[in-house]
Structure 1
Amino acid sequence: MTGKLMRTRARLLEAALELFATQGFEATTAAQIAARAGVTQMTFFRHFPTKAAVLIGDPYDPVIGESIRREPPGADPITLAARGVRKAWQELPSPAADEVRARLRIVAQTPSLRADLAAGTAATEVVVAEALTDLGVDPHRAAVAAGAVLGALNAALLRWSLSDDGDLGAAIHSALDVLEHANA
């Protein structure tokens, strides 16, 4: 993505978060976000296919899948997935925690966004399950493990978003610790 595209996307995100904070998610339109960012509504939709996509987006799926595939086989599937996610998190540049918290807080407080979160989670679950299957895990067990890991991460991140303390990495590691230690 070019510098100009990245700046436009950042302006749209900033405008959306400001409007969601003052008007609420439901009352804010894509047209209002675009106008606040100084772009057309068409430009908004080039960057985000839906208004919800401003808040729910996961560019990390390929990194997570590859990280899991690099795990040595032999551990149970939940541990393999948790370890792979942990290593992927360590490989990635840290996102802006305040922005992530603001986005997730809106999701946590807006019931209509739960379906969008579930759809994004389902896509990540497929990536995790495929990576586990590539390691020789039975497809059924891989799907269950992927659901467990993503469920734990979502629960931890939504809870973290509603607080004002702790850092994002700690919330992620805490969820993964619960999973890994439950299987130890």
Structure 2
Amino acid sequence: MVTKLMRTRARLLAAALELFAAQGFDETTAAQIADRAGVTQMTFFRHFPTKAAVLIGDPYDPVIGEMIRSEPPGADPITRAARGVRKAWRELPPPAAEEVRLRVRIVARTPSLRADLAAGTAATETAVTEALTDLGTDPREAAVAAGAVVGALNAALLTWSQTGDDLGVAINAALDTLEQRHD
């Protein structure tokens, strides 16, 4: 069931993406986004704590952690993390690919968003590290494995955003490369 709250959020997201694409992220204000969506600026900030949150938010972290924890014992941390990410990708409904591509493309082309991207990446790395340490992996080894897997995902996403490739194919190719290289 689509609620009024969900419709408002979708309008805000659509308005933000239109404005970011037309005039750039840095040149777009939260007030302009709210106006385009037909809501107040306060409503914008109820849905997104910052303008960057429109582009950076990642709902996958809890599911990735859960899927890593469900991996059978015996595999090394990079393999467990990569397999957990693959499972999470299969479990979650596929995102609207063109919307995600546009969001990632805007982030890739906007230097002022690098810190926000780094914060989102750090949160994902933390989720992966915690899942691996919950499984008994040494914290340092877990942090290295998390960094490798998240780095591969980021590289795949940034490259994918500039192409017409399928997102699932890009993610799996990055994880395949990572798993083959560390054996």
Q: Which segments of structure 1 move beyond 4 Å, counting only runs of 4 or more?
A: none
Q: Offset of 1:179 from its aligned partner? A: 1.2
Distance 2:181 2:76 in 1: 11
Q: Distance in 1 between matches of 2:173 and 2:113?
A: 24
For residues 160 and 100 of structure 1, the distance between their equivalents in structure 2, rounded to whole angstroms, comes to: 10
- In the superposition, the TM-score normalised over structure 1's length comes to 0.97
Say how many residue pairs are matched.
183
Shift of 1:76: 1.2
Q: Deviation digits for residues 108-133 of structure 1, max 9, x if unmatched? A: 00011111011011011111001001
3-state SS, counterpart of residue 146 of structure 1: helix
- 1:2 CA drift (Å): 6.0
Identity %: 80
Quote the residue 1:176 is aligned against: 175
Q: Which residue of 1 aligns with 2:154?
A: 154
Residue of structure 2 equivalent to 1:71: 71
- Counterpart residue number, 2:51: 51
**Deviation of 1:166 (Å):** 1.0
CA distance in 1, matches of 2:147, 2:4: 37
- Over the residues paired in the alignment, what is the CA RMSD in angstroms? 1.1
Q: Deviations over 1:82-130 (max 9, x none)?
A: 0000011000000000000000000000011111011011011111001
Give the Cα separation in 2 of the matches to 1:160 and 1:62: 23
Q: Deviations over 1:40-99 (max 9, x none)?
A: 000000000000000001011111000000001211111110000001100000000000
Q: Secondary structure at the match of 1:28?
A: coil
Distance 1:57 1:178 in 2: 26
In structure 1, C-alpha distance between the alignment counterparts of 2:109 and 2:162, rounded to whole Å: 9
Are the aligned partners of 1:34 and 1:40 in contact in 2 as well (CA < 8 Å)? yes
Alpha-carbon distance in structure 2 between the residues aligned to 1:133 and 1:73: 12
Mapping of residues 41-120 of structure 1, within 5 Å: 41-120=41-120
Q: Aligned-pair distance for 1:183?
A: 2.5
- Aligned-pair CA distance for 1:182: 1.4
In the aligned structure 1, how far is the partner of 2:76 from the partner of 2:111? 34
- Match of 1:89, SS? helix
Kept after mapping to 2: 8 A contact 1:133/1:142: yes
- Unpaired segments of 5 or more residues in structure 2? none
* TM-score computed with the length of structure 2 as normaliser: 0.97
Query: CA offset at residue 168 of structure 1?
Result: 0.9
SS of the residue corresponding to residue 55 of structure 1 reads helix
